[in-house]
Amino acid sequence: MGSKVADLPHPFDPLSLDEIAHAIGLVRKAHGEVFFNVVSLQEPRKAEMTAWLENPEIAPRPKRIADVVVIAPGGKVYDGLVDLADSKIIHWEHAEGQQPIITMEELQLVEHIVRKDPKVIEQCILSGVAPEDMHKVYCDPWTIGYDERFGNNVRLQQALMYYRPEVDNCQYQYPLDFCPIYDADKGEIIHIDIPKIRRPLSTAPPMDYIPAAVEARGGYRNNLKPINITQPEGVSFKLDGRWLEWQNWKFHIGFNYREGIVLNDITFNDKGTVRPIFYRLSLAEMVVPYGNPEAPHHRKHALDQGEYGAGYMTNSLSLGCDCKGSIHYLDAEFPTRNGGVTTIKNAICIHEEDAGILFKHSDFRDDSVIVTRGRKLIIQQIFTAANYEYVVAWTFHQDGTIAPEIKLTGILNTYAMLEDEDTHGWGTQVYPGVNAHNHQHLFCLRIDANVDGPNNTVFVGDAVPSPHPVGSPENFYGNGFYNKRTKLATEGESKTDYNGATSRTWEIANTNKLNPYSKKPVSYKLVSREVPGLMPKEGSLVWKRASFARHAVHVTKYRDDELWPAGRHVPQTSGEPSRGLAEWIGDGTTSIDNTDIVLWHTFGVTHFPSPEDFPVMPAEPMMLLLRPRNFFAGNPVMDVPPSYCSTPSQVAAGKLGVLDATDKLSTLAFANGAVRVNGTNGAAAASCCSSKTNGVNGH
Amino acid sequence: MGSKVADLPHPFDPLSLDEIAHAIGLVRKAHGEVFFNVVSLQEPRKAEMTAWLENPEIAPRPKRIADVVVIAPGGKVYDGLVDLADSKIIHWEHAEGQQPIITMEELQLVEHIVRKDPKVIEQCILSGVAPEDMHKVYCDPWTIGYDERFGNNVRLQQALMYYRPEVDNCQYQYPLDFCPIYDADKGEIIHIDIPKIRRPLSTAPPMDYIPAAVEARGGYRNNLKPINITQPEGVSFKLDGRWLEWQNWKFHIGFNYREGIVLNDITFNDKGTVRPIFYRLSLAEMVVPYGNPEAPHHRKHALDQGEYGAGYMTNSLSLGCDCKGSIHYLDAEFPTRNGGVTTIKNAICIHEEDAGILFKHSDFRDDSVIVTRGRKLIIQQIFTAANYEYVVAWTFHQDGTIAPEIKLTGILNTYAMLEDEDTHGWGTQVYPGVNAHNHQHLFCLRIDANVDGPNNTVFVGDAVPSPHPVGSPENFYGNGFYNKRTKLATEGESKTDYNGATSRTWEIANTNKLNPYSKKPVSYKLVSREVPGLMPKEGSLVWKRASFARHAVHVTKYRDDELWPAGRHVPQTSGEPSRGLAEWIGDGTTSIDNTDIVLWHTFGVTHFPSPEDFPVMPAEPMMLLLRPRNFFAGNPVMDVPPSYCSTPSQVAAGKLGVLDATDKLSTLAFANGAVRVNGTNGAAAASCCSSKTNGVNGH
């Protein structure tokens, strides 16, 4: 068990091991032996929290409440709330017909049962697995998504089946073609989906990425020289509890089983004025629909956060490996199924990186120049959803930009195919006998906005030409264009799609505060270019279950507990009615004009696999920006020390007083003459940013 | 003058100082005193070059030819070609009614003349400049673009006027409202455009980014600890002449006055087979149209490469400043106006960077894991186009991806406004009296494709749902979707726009070679998401002059000398008829199916300025990808040594044989306990990638 909690936890802090254990103890006392699915912080009610943040001396400190989900014998699901200070269960309710998140422990159980099930064994033998090789049969258990044959009163998993000739082989190259259905309450296989066309186990030789396989193919390349990244004087950020301060930013770093990293109360110190920007940022949900319409592949549309939890699936990160430099880690603490507690060490890493040129300008008249290098701060986690890994990096820039970045890596989900079978365009043969289906990764970024205060308004911005024709007095030469701003006045109106042709952006504005110069409302702009539409059609199962993915943006009025846009309990929802966002928006008449709002942004990629992605995928990055626009009265990074600066007067005076803080560790690549094969060797670099020409002077 | 050329230059190499001087000498001898505008390599004819590259022993070595442009007395422009080995002018032609590129030297001249012109002085006084302060008046001379009042027989510049109270002030905060027109041949101001509404010189106090100004506002922040990036064992790339080899890549690095960096003969060594990918890559043109329709602002639409040259405007880079680590530089060599030669030291920098996680996968069953870090190679230049700087980085990844990246920084072009005057949406008041007009930065990437051979075909890829409705047998659950591929068969058909809704990509395929597994043609895919349409309307001046910007993609059959899509001589083209791409495509009937093709891709950003961009703009990055798809038979980076790897059998055996090449220089941020303010301090990081839980084991 963890160390004693010395200080009172901050109301935003995740539950500590002690708090989790305390909640578990209280629930056990009242309700006996149950399986613990969730014991997590119920986030403070916003009104109370805001009052306390503003006036911690006067306003009451928000209580620590544990949000609890348990599965009681008979598969009965209960939602509960536990007041930790009062040691009291304050809410307890049977969640009829709802299935809570499937934990890693539950997933682990299925494979062992699958291997012993006689009907599964029969299918394995039919597929070409030797009966004595059942220990070489593996499964990735997924929630069933939704299957109308079974409904949602029985807790189910579907077992995507694979074979590994050797334990170290990548199993995704030997998929099996049938799909057992597992009943969690009974702990047994209740059905097997068997395709009409059978596809026996592939006999292709393994293609692996493990060292032994690479060695057998000729070994590792040995032509990469180390790049060392060090911070001998330490890092530039400070942590006070879970409050991080860096380069005018301040925010609280939370973490939960569901969303993973949660950032709260993000502010920017603008020359002494602490300005709020976001009350809360998180990745609130995601969906990965696969595009093969043949049943049962339609069930492959993981809502990974609501169905498994980006927190529960998070990796334990390690120094010099997942990140380099000077790193700080934060752990994550969770309940276990049987009522214990567990820690994922190093669930979050925090570090800085050089960000290249922050700004530069030279005057072409005289070569006076300023070059300033930027820095970024990264709060990162990596979670593994069976085959895929998601690297989630919340990146903060000095100029007020927040750039959430996601990298996809790991392994494609695969299905069996006869060698060179027609995939009908729904997938790609990435290796003989291996069909990787088309899929999307759609993430829902939840932006609880607080741009210079709680009352915000969202505008769509479209770059459009002047309405006046070429040759008209208003647009004679035809070059006029402007940013057409459209206010989203109600939740219904807020349902907006991306428009590549107009480089559409969404502006989260505070219309009560105008920029002193532009006289436009202070705002943060959502600049996001990886915004594919949801490919599953209107009315499809995915469309119904993942209502957040129907549009690039939805905006809702803030309401406590509206955190997860596919609903609280996601597994086995039918989408009739849609839970979460569609339910909250309802008829869409609620005003979102100049009030406390939440913007939900769905972005991601559409992935048509290719052999390059197999057997493990080189990381594919995607990024979006939250940029201050008309928020500051000027460039907020002018006080970042330049690497080099010479002003026109200094240049004219022969460079007296030139500021030169250039990094002195950088070297010429071939200064020692050892490496370059041919040609003139490393003439000394020009002294920093000096006059650019020699020879006959052109100026 | 430079050193003697010992070896024969490679036919792709830029002209050396000696070669430039030799060409100049020959031209002078034949044509007397002329101004030298261009003396640059005429690139080898592709057929000859390809034959020689394939068979250097047998095929004749392509000749070194200098492409020369001069301005003779009376403003007469001549195009010439000089055979350097034979010391012979092989082509000489009067370029009637055409204006060649405006060199930095020509730009420099204007300001001095403007300051002495009585009519300009008169306007300055009217604006509020004291007569004795004319030395504080500056101008950014631009080509005139095209002005129908003056046509193109007279060589013109328009002088965008500014005032600097002190020499070190940023001039863009004090724009003047009138615009003198300079005649280069006469060396005098021939006209002044004066607006109807006069806007006197701003009296706002300066807002500067120079050290003295920052100090006066309270000084630089002192809370950034150094990040050191070092390569003690040297770099991982090799250079032989200008041929670079790195991580299976090999290519030639050229440079010219116009495009700056040119990359030739890009190949990838795929397990011993050298596979061609691109014959030539460059940024071939750009246009920056401004959106204020009021004359004469329509003339602000810089075609910076064709009008000034990304090579001529390039910065002299410096170590530890523009880039960090171990850097190699290449110089650029040019003629001067009067027939000298000049060198821009360090015009190109070459260096590696850590690229974060290249791939990762953990098995959720047992925490076996592989983490491999990536590396990238960057070939970079920075050029300054008067107010703006463009950082152009050609980034190569180990997995076969090429990612051209451009960062915009520098200073906004500004115009005078009355304080709080209505900008009518065409611009933003970024500071009192400073109107920054809306504008676009549109770049044209020229891709001379050679994907596994010269005969390539381009397909558009659109992600689209199955055509069958929800509930139909073919798409019962509605989730079907696929990549709809459309062949671009002719130059006319190739004119295609971006489609955000379908995440459109363009696939440069070799239909003669199929991937062994996917059976799809080997290809490189253009993945580009920053693709705003051209805002100036069809038929507008910009639309006519910059025909490449009318569509996101054009494809042409390869023809020698079709290098620059706005034409060879760009200043003062009227667009009637359009030069360059529109002219080459003509009626569009030429086949581009399975032949030697060039893809022209226009991408960029639409910029609505805000006060954050002033007085100097934090760098705004944009990136696109050229990705191998169905090109390799598998992930091409499996042989990059992992930082850490443990296989399931190793985990089961208690981690014997685990591969651990983790970077040992990384440290815990608060290991010394010195910095963290509060809370538990840096518990030791988990040993690399070890079992992730402690406490009660959840697995």
HSE-CB for A1 with a 13 A CA cutoff: 12
Q: What does the pLDDT read at residue B293? A: 98
Question: Which residue of A18, A321, A330 to mutate against B (max B Cβ within 10 Å)?
Answer: A321
CATH of domain A104-216: 3.10.450.40
CB contact (8 A) between residue B692 and residue A345: yes
CATH 3.10.450.40 domain locations along chain A: 17-94, 104-216
* B222-260 tens-digit pLDDT: 999 999 999 999 999 999 999 999 999 999 999 999 999
Question: Residue A318 — very low, low, confident or very high, per pLDDT cuts 50/70/90?
Answer: confident
Q: What does the pLDDT read at residue A343? A: 97
Q: What does the pLDDT read at residue A681? A: 36
Cα–Cα dist B282/B379, whole Å: 12
Chosen CATH of B17-94 out of 3.30.450.80, 3.10.450.40, 3.20.20.140, 1.10.3720.10: 3.10.450.40
CATH 2.70.98.20 domain locations along chain B: 238-629
- Mean pLDDT across A495-500: 97
What percent of chain B lies above the pLDDT cut of 90?
A: 90
Cα–Cα dist A567/A280, whole Å: 18
CB contact (8 A) between residue B336 and residue A241: no
Going by the DSSP 8-state scheme, the letter that residue B538 receives in this structure is: T
Q: What burial letters (b/e) apply to A434-468, b meaning 16+ CB within 10 Å?
A: bbbbbbbbbbbbbbbbbbbebbbbbbbbbbbbbee
Q: Which residues of B are catalytic?
A: 304, 388
Q: What does the pLDDT read at residue A420? A: 82
CB nearest B477 (choices: A298, A627, A645): A298
> Is B6 or A407 the better-scoring residue by pLDDT?
A407
* A424-465 tens-digit pLDDT: 999 999 999 999 999 999 999 999 999 999 999 999 999 999
| pLDDT beyond 70 at A677 | no
Question: Which residue of B115, B227, B230 to mutate against A (max A Cβ within 10 Å)?
Answer: B227
Q: What burial letters (b/e) apply to A175-192, b meaning 16+ CB within 10 Å?
A: bbbbbbbbbbeeeebebb
Cα–Cα dist B417/A257, whole Å: 54
Who's near B331: CB < 8 A, 6+ residues apart?
A: A683, B343, B344, B345, B346, B347
> Is B681 or A676 the better-scoring residue by pLDDT?
A676
Report the candidate in A31, A133, A120, A119 with the shortest Cα–Cα distance to residue A74.
A31
CB contact (8 A) between residue B235 and residue A373: no
Q: What does the pLDDT read at residue A3? A: 39
* B642-696 tens-digit pLDDT: 999 999 999 998 875 567 777 778 888 886 544 444 433 334 444 444 444 433 3
Q: Which residues of B touch A351 (CB under 8 A)?
A: 669
The nearest CA of chain A is from the CA of B84 a distance in Å of: 21
Q: What does the pLDDT read at residue A397? A: 98
* Contacting A residues, span 109-128, partner chain B, CB-CB under 8 Å: 111
Who's near A654: CB < 8 A, 6+ residues apart?
A: none
The nearest CA of chain B is from the CA of A559 a distance in Å of: 31
Contacts 24+ apart (CB under 8 A), B512-516: B512/B452, B512/B453, B512/B455, B512/B594, B513/B452, B513/B453, B514/B630, B515/A610, B515/A611, B515/B630, B515/B631, B515/B633, B516/B633
The nearest CA of chain B is from the CA of A497 a distance in Å of: 9
Structure tokens at B25: 């000498």
Q: What does the pLDDT read at residue B696? A: 31
Any CB–CB contact under 8 A between A403 and chain B?
no
Q: Which residues of A touch B326 (CB under 8 A)?
A: 666-669
> Is A541 or B668 the better-scoring residue by pLDDT?
A541
Q: What does the pLDDT read at residue B582? A: 97
Q: Which residues of A touch B384 (CB under 8 A)?
A: 361-362, 364
A–B interface: beta-carbon pairs under 8 A: 782
| pLDDT beyond 50 at B306 | yes
Question: Residue A237 — very low, low, confident or very high, per pLDDT cuts 50/70/90?
Answer: very high
Any CB–CB contact under 8 A between B135 and chain A?
no
> What is the average pLDDT score of chain B?
93
- Secondary structure (H, E, C), A577-616: CCCCHHHHHCCCCCECCCEEEEEEEEEEEEECCCHHHCCC
Any CB–CB contact under 8 A between B242 and chain A?
yes
CB contact (8 A) between residue B668 and residue A327: yes
- Mean pLDDT across B415-424: 94
- Mean pLDDT across A265-280: 98
Q: Which residues of A touch B315 (CB under 8 A)?
A: 362, 369, 692
Q: What does the pLDDT read at residue A656? A: 58
Q: Which residues of B touch A321 (CB under 8 A)?
A: 371, 373, 643-644, 662-663, 688-689
CATH of domain B238-629: 2.70.98.20
Instruction: State the fold for domain A238-411+439-469+479-607+616-629.
Output: Beta-galactosidase; Chain A, domain 5 (2.70.98)
* B214-230 tens-digit pLDDT: 999 999 999 999 999 99
Task: Tell me, yes or no, if A304 is annotated catalytic.
Answer: yes
| pLDDT beyond 90 at B176 | yes
- Mean pLDDT across A152-181: 97
- Mean pLDDT across A135-146: 97
Q: Which residues of B touch A397 (CB under 8 A)?
A: 618
What percent of chain A lies above the pLDDT cut of 90?
A: 90
ipTM over 0.90: yes
Report the candidate in B7, B535, B31 with the shortest Cα–Cα distance to residue B242.
B7
Q: Which residues of A touch B498 (CB under 8 A)?
A: 500-501
Query: Which residue out of A140, A147, A265, A304 is catalytically annotated?
Result: A304
- Mean pLDDT across B467-489: 98
Q: Which residues of B touch A628 (CB under 8 A)?
A: 610, 612
* Contacting B residues, span 559-578, partner chain A, CB-CB under 8 Å: none
CB contact (8 A) between residue A328 and residue B210: no
The nearest CA of chain A is from the CA of B179 a distance in Å of: 18
CB contact (8 A) between residue B223 and residue A293: no
* B60-85 tens-digit pLDDT: 999 999 999 999 999 999 999 999 99
Give the lowest-confidence range in A342-351, A471-480, A677-686.
A677-686
Any CB–CB contact under 8 A between B612 and chain A?
yes
Which residues make beta-bridge pairs with B342? A695, B334
The nearest CA of chain B is from the CA of A67 a distance in Å of: 20
* Contacting A residues, span 277-316, partner chain B, CB-CB under 8 Å: 289-293, 295, 297-298, 301, 313, 315-316
DSSP letter string, B246-303: ETTEEEEEEEETTTEEEEEEEEEEETTEEEEEEEEEEEEEEEEEB---STTGGG-EE-
- Mean pLDDT across B162-189: 97
What percent of chain A lies above the pLDDT cut of 70?
A: 94
